A = this chain, B = another copy of it.
Amino acid sequence: MVSRGRPRDMQVDERVLRIAAALMLERGYAGLSIDEVAEQAGAAKTTLYRRWPTKDHLAVAVVARLQADDEIADTGDIRADLVNYLEKIAAGLNRMRAAGHRQGPSAGTVGELVAAAARHEDIGRLTREQYAERNALALALIERARVRGELRADLDAEALFDQMAGALYYRVMITGAPVDRAYAERLVSSALEGNLTCH
């Protein structure tokens, strides 16, 4: 009892996502027009709406394809592992860069996605799950480093992770400053070594 009725044309999905990605990266979120995507893909609007119930859903799908879900390495050197991890997050953020946009280019796209997650329960649930999954990997990394004695026994892993990941998002969305490997190293140094005078 699988797949009754006329099957979906999978080529439509592919064409639409490709065209939507091109429009979005070139003209930003606002420049992504359902009418235009449908026309360029040679499909009716109703066909698009059957797959993605809103423009937000389509945009999320487009961005999801841009985000390579990389492996997270545990080399035993917590500093190097965290830097690599943050660099991957930064790369994902930089990848949604919209050409025509001012202020640290990907800010607009990230902001729109946050707004989309707030507008639609399902998108919010989905993205929160994905973030939780990603965070769990980082928290496990931190926990292992704590167990083997690299990190202090009484650390606040959640605060530590929020600090580092948050700084990246803050930079991209608020200050518009670049996020790259050099910045990731500064973050890890500051977070690990602390800022009080040595005693």
Which A residues lie at the B interface, using CB under 8 A?
28-30, 101-103, 107-119, 121, 124, 127-128, 131-132, 135, 149-153, 155-156, 158-160, 162-171, 173-176, 183, 186-187, 189-198
Cβ B190 vs Cβ A160 within 8 A: yes
Residue from the list B127, B152, B159 in contact with A167, Cβ < 8 A: B159
| Chain B residue contacts of A110, Cβ below 8 A | 114
Copies, count: 2
Cβ A155 vs Cβ B108 within 8 A: no
- Across the interface, name the chain B residue whose C-beta is closest to A108: B118
- Nearest chain B CB to A188 CB, angstrom units: 9
| Chain B residue contacts of A168, Cβ below 8 A | 166
CA distance A196 to B160 in the complex (A): 11
Cβ A102 vs Cβ B124 within 8 A: yes
A175 and B131 in contact (CB under 8 A), knowing A151-B195, A155-B190, A194-B194? yes
